[in-house]
Structure formats: structure tokens, C-alpha cells
Structure 1
Amino acid sequence: MKQKRSKQGGQGLRALMGWLIALTVCLVLAVAAWAYWQVTRPLPLAAPSVELSIEPGTTPRAVARSWVEAGVRVEPWVLYQWFRWSGRSAAIRAGNYELTQGMSARDLLRMMVRGDERLSTVKLIEGWTFKRFRAELAQAAGLKNTIGALSDAEVMAALGEPGAMPEGQFFPDTYTFSKGSTDIAVLKRAHRVMQHRLAEAWERRAADTPLKSPAEALILASIVEKETGRESDRGLVAGVFVNRLRIGMPLQTDPSVIYGLGDRFDGNLRRRDLQADTPYNTYTRAGLPPTPISMPGRASLLAAALPMPTKALYFVARGDGSSEFSNSLAEHNRAVDRFQRNPTRKGP
């Protein structure tokens, strides 16, 4: 009798184990089916296309999070787990990518692993104005123009910065894009990069800087960008302007006056231009102009925040791209005589 009961108990246990195994298999298959659906279905996007620049060294988890922040409407862990489960997360390449409607998580990973950018480029140069930036974007082959009919204010509103002035707000660099990408998408990236570079420079600012905010650093950097012809002089040029700000001396920088003239500037800066008071005339007004006057690069941002220590208050172009720096007005006048009023004169 005991043997019979034992035999029946063993059969029951085997049946239970079989049932549990079948349930486990069903669950595994259900999870696999769900996972397959997740990675093969079209990803929901916040816009017709979502673009992302992946920097070298970015972790797969950060890549997944960045895609979601850029406009992919899924939980970051869904993308991250797919990257992990695929076994190819370590093969994701740095680059600039565009995700369009209809693409799945599998398509996204394949694109990043292959480095399949298929991109064109547009180059935005240090020292250009926003007007010049817009002109360059308008003629970039393959870039869809969406801001041509918009005012500067409307462009900034479209970028989520209503009321902000556009000058100085975009980082000059070479930007890649897929065919059919929009100019506003490139501007968004350039704006994000400028915010990052400005914050980076401001973190390194000199302890005794007279600049009160990152916005002021950006304005000064834009002036340094326009005033510097040689890289090695950038820190000293910034040092001169910082010294002038400290003592309340007008910056007296021609590029700011020229910017204020706008389309009225014909290539010849006259005495009357220097004497006509405008918000951008740094001869008639002390302190910084109200906005940046150009798009500064990283070197100018760093120079404005952390200028080279100097006692100089003046500088003049030597004619070869470099500048002569002077501590006093008398020294400066002699330098002007040597390099501008009598440029063929040799020696001290």
C-alpha cells in the first residue's frame, strides 16, 4: 500500500514539475515575444525625425538615455536592455545619427553599430554672425530649409528660447546631417553645444574675474574672437579687455562698433562712426555691449573666462596677424606709429 502511494506521489510530483516547466516555457516564450515586439515595432518619436550626436566614450546606458531625451518616447531601460541583450552594445560607434519614423530599436542599434550615418556636412565658422549662419544653412545641399520665412525672434522661439537674442548662442563647428534633415535641427545641436562649452569655460573662470555671469563671458568671448588674428594672442587680448573692465575704461573695440552699424557699414570705419553713440559703441559707452557680436569658438570662450595675466591696457595690430601689447598710452602711441602710421619702419 505504501509502495502504491509512493508511486502515485512520484507521478504527481512529475506532473507538477511538468506543469511548472511548461509554464516556465510559456513565460519565457511570452517574454521573448514581448521583447521581440519591443525591438521590432516602430519607435514612437516626438517629431518626424530625432537626431543625436554620440561622443566618443559614451556608455550604452547613456546612449539610451540620450535618445530618450532627444525625443524617442520609450523608457530608457527598454533601449538599454536591448543594447545589452544584443551583445553588440560595445560596438556602438560615436557619430551623428538621425532616427526617422518607422525605424525600430533594432534598426537604431544596427545603424549605430555600422556607423551608418550617410551624412552631409555644414561648416559654421568662428566669428560669423547669426545672419551669416542662417545664410550658410540656407545654401547647404540636402538640408531642409524651415526657417527661411522666420524672423530671428521666431527662430529662437522655435528653439525653446523665446525672447532670447540669437547672436552668440550657437557654437561654430562642422555639423553633419542626413539628407532631409532640417536647418532648425542643426541649430538645436549648435545651441546645445554652445551651452555646454560656455558652462565648461565658466567653470574654469578666474577667481577675480569682473564678469558677473556666463552671459557676460559669452559677450566678451565674441569680442575676443573678432579681435584676435593669431591664436597665441587670444589670452592677452582677453586680458586687456578684462583690465579695462576692472578700471571702468571703455573697451574701445572697433568690431563692436561695426556690428552696431549693421548693413550701414561699407567696409570703412570712419571717425563719425566712432563718435556716434549706440548701444554697441564701446568708445562712447563703458562696459560690455548688450549682446555678443559674433559666434565665438572654444578658445575664445576659455580666454574670456580665464585670460592671461597682463598689465597691458592697449594693443595694436602689427600687420602680420599678431598684436603689439602696451601697458601705457605713451607706449601704445609709439606702437601705433610703428605698425600703422609708419608700417614700413623697421626696428624699435
Structure 2
Amino acid sequence: MTKTRKIIAGAIVILALIIATCYWQIRQFAASPLTINQETLFTLPAGTGRVALEAQLVEQKIVPPTLWFGALLKLEPELAKFKAGTYRLSKAMTVREMLELLASGKEAQFPIRFVEGTRLQEWLAQLRAAPYLKHTLEDDQFTTLAQALQLGSTDGVEGWFYPDTYLYTANTSDIALLKRAHQRMVTLVDSIWQEKMDDLPYKTQNDLVTMASIIEKETAVNDERSKVASVFINRLRLGMRLQTDPTVIYGMGDKYNGSLTRADLETPTAYNTYVISGLPPGPIAMPGKASLDAAAHPLKTNYLYFVADGKGGHTFTTNLASHNRAVQVYRQALKEKNEQ
């Protein structure tokens, strides 16, 4: 072998070693963990290129400065097809896994929990505080929300959003979330309305939802919901006023300070069922499915009254004398509990 050929062969060997070393370094870098010590949310803006992505990752101390990031994207171009969005990065994630996640478009999801028995105003406050949510509502007025949802009136606002945990991605709008919750409630109510008991004193689906919202506020015990429903249905049929405290509280709005007085019970509002006859004009909270089912399928009883029993449930009675005795039992139990 001539000297020239030996030099060329040696150069080829050295080049091959360099290439192999670089390849090994790239593979090592791809398999290395991210330089974060806790779960991190990373937002990739639209239109970000390879160089800008690397700069952003280095700036946020997610990956270290290195020669191998750009080389990895050139070696495996499928990893360079990243998509804009907000992603959840874990501390155990490797560089390759991160790039695969960015290429998958599987953005981080954020939960928001709308609880049964709470009011729409409370839901709107939650939405205002929710992270990564796009806020489009100008204010929390029911008329504004009704217009945004194209409901035509505010009649389908309070009570007409299904309580549940909803997941959303960054930049989802508040209206989009509320539309999901509203459509779920509309679909559920329509189904329950079709299968409700005959001869119930409801003229519209809104009456059913109104009754369910009262049940939701009166008891959290599943086994009691249909009993509570029976009390109110019996009262409606007899022309008795419902006389339920939660409707008074709702009608008071911001004036409610945590306790009800006799004057509060006697002060007329559109929702004060100690003063008005029949159902209030609309729901007073967001009912869950159990309360909607109870409103549609109340037990057949003679109960006209109920009062807390001091043990988390209620005592149901058929006449005023028995009810008054149950009230005294409750007050005594409450007194003994406060003295402990």
C-alpha cells in the first residue's frame, strides 16, 4: 500500500470514528433526562422553528446548552415536527420523549371541577381564576352569558350546566367550557323529562330543573332525595307553600350573611317560597343527576314536612304536630353537640 493510500485509509478510519462518536453522543443526548427537578409546563408558540425551540428550552433550563440538539433533529427529522401548544413535562422524561411529546400534539390538560349545588356565579368565579383559560366573557351578568351561548333569554342559565370535572387545554375559552356543560345538561334533562312519572306538577323542563335544584340544596344524602322530592310534590298538589330556606337565601343574593332571621323569611322576593306559592321562577343552583332523577321520580308518600335530625340526615313527618316534635329533638341534639 502506498503512503498516499495509507493516509487516505487512516483519514477514513478517523472520519468513521468521528462519525461513530458523534452518533453515539447524539444518541446519548437523546436518552438523557431533562434538566428539571419537578413537573414543568412548557408553552411552544406557533411558528417556532428548530433554533428558536432549542433557545427556549435552554433559556428555561429544560435542556443544557449542547452541540447535539440540532444534530438530533437532523438525524431524526420526525422529531422536528413539533406542534404549538402547552405541554406537561415530567422530571423523568428524556429529551427524545419530550420531542416525541411536542410532535404528538398531546397538550397538557387542566381540570376544573363544577360542584353540584353551587350557583352559576360561583362557577364563573372559578373560570376567572382557572389557569391557561382564555377569558372572553366581558362580565358575569346572566344576560351576557345568555347572549354568548345564544340562549335567547336568561331562563336557561342558572341550573342549566351539568356539574362535573371538565378537562381543557391551554387557550380553551370560558365559553367553550360552558357550552360543553350546558349541552350535557340539556341532553340529560331532555332524557329524564321523557321518562318522568306521570301527573307531576311541572309545566316545563325548567320546572323539573328548579325542583331538582331545591332538592340538591336540601340534602346531600342520596337515599333521601326522592323523599325530599315527595314532600315538595305533596305540598304543590295541596296548594301549600314550599317553605324551603335555600330559596329564601337565593332570593336574598349578596344580602345573605350566613344566617336567616324571621324577617328574612317574611321579606318578599321572587324566590321566597315562604311568601310565594308554587315553585320559584327558576333554579337556585346546579343540580346533579341524582337530584334530577329524584325530581322526576319522587317517592309516593304522605310526608309534608322534614327537618334535620342532627346526624347528617332528616326526619320526615306527615303532620305539623309530629314535625314540631322533630324540630324539638333536633334543637336538643344541636344544643348537646354545642355543649360538648
TM-score (norm 2): 0.66
Of 117, 129, 140, the residue aligned with 1:139 is 129
- Conservation of the 8 A alpha-carbon contact between 2:108 and 2:169: yes
**Root-mean-square deviation (CA), in Å?**
2.2
Compare 233-242 and 195-204 and name the one that shifted more: 195-204
The letter of the residue matching 1:257 is: V
CA distance in 2, matches of 1:263, 1:283: 19
- Match status 1:233 vs 2:233: no
CA distance in 1, matches of 2:114, 2:191: 20
Of 184, 192, 195, the residue aligned with 2:183 is 192
- Conservation of the 8 A alpha-carbon contact between 1:127 and 1:294: yes
How far the C-alpha of 1:150 sits from its partner, in A, is 5.4
How far the C-alpha of 1:118 sits from its partner, in A, is 3.2
Aligned-residue sequence identity (percent) comes to 44
- Conservation of the 8 A alpha-carbon contact between 1:314 and 1:332: yes
* Aligned equivalent of 1:120: 110
Structure 1 segments, 4+ long, off by >3 Å, are: 114-118, 341-346
- Conservation of the 8 A alpha-carbon contact between 1:138 and 1:148: no
Of 272, 285, 305, the residue aligned with 1:314 is 305
- Secondary structure of the corresponding residue to residue 154 of structure 2: coil
How far the C-alpha of 1:169 sits from its partner, in A, is 1.4
* Aligned equivalent of 1:161: 151
Of 294, 297, 306, the residue aligned with 1:303 is 294
Q: Give 5+ residue unaligned stretches, structure 2.
A: 1-84, 86-100
- Conservation of the 8 A alpha-carbon contact between 1:143 and 1:180: yes
* Aligned equivalent of 2:70: none
- Secondary structure of the corresponding residue to residue 336 of structure 1: helix
Compare 149-158 and 322-331 and name the one that shifted more: 149-158
How far the C-alpha of 1:341 sits from its partner, in A, is 4.7
The letter of the residue matching 1:192 is: Q
Written as runs of structure 1 = structure 2, the 5 A alignment for 1:45-56 is none
Post-superposition CA distance 1:105-133 (Å, at most 9, x none): xxxxxx9xx89463211100001111001
Post-superposition CA distance 1:75-99 (Å, at most 9, x none): xxxxxxxxxxxxxxxxxxxxxxxxx
* Aligned equivalent of 1:76: none
How far the C-alpha of 1:171 sits from its partner, in A, is 0.8
Written as runs of structure 1 = structure 2, the 5 A alignment for 1:318-329 is 318-329=309-320
How many residues end up aligned between the 2 structures? 236
- Conservation of the 8 A alpha-carbon contact between 1:153 and 1:162: no
CA distance in 2, matches of 1:187, 1:316: 35
CA distance in 1, matches of 2:140, 2:227: 39
CA distance in 1, matches of 2:105, 2:316: 48
- Match status 1:292 vs 2:283: yes
Post-superposition CA distance 1:226-270 (Å, at most 9, x none): 001311111100111111111110000000000000000011100
* Aligned equivalent of 1:337: 328
TM-score (norm 1): 0.64
CA distance in 2, matches of 1:213, 1:126: 22
The letter of the residue matching 2:263 is: R
CA distance in 2, matches of 1:192, 1:163: 16
* Aligned equivalent of 2:164: 173
- Conservation of the 8 A alpha-carbon contact between 2:142 and 2:154: no
Report the structure number with the largest CA radius of gyration.
2
CA distance in 2, matches of 1:268, 1:288: 23
* Aligned equivalent of 2:242: 251
Q: Give 5+ residue unaligned stretches, structure 1.
A: 1-99, 101-110
The letter of the residue matching 1:151 is: Q
* Aligned equivalent of 2:193: 202
- Match status 1:272 vs 2:263: yes
- Conservation of the 8 A alpha-carbon contact between 2:121 and 2:140: no
CA distance in 2, matches of 1:342, 1:142: 48
The letter of the residue matching 1:233 is: E
- Conservation of the 8 A alpha-carbon contact between 2:211 and 2:295: yes
CA distance in 1, matches of 2:302, 2:120: 34
| 1:343–1:212 CA distance, 2 compared to 1 (3 A) | same
Written as runs of structure 1 = structure 2, the 5 A alignment for 1:209-224 is 209-224=200-215
CA distance in 2, matches of 1:332, 1:163: 40
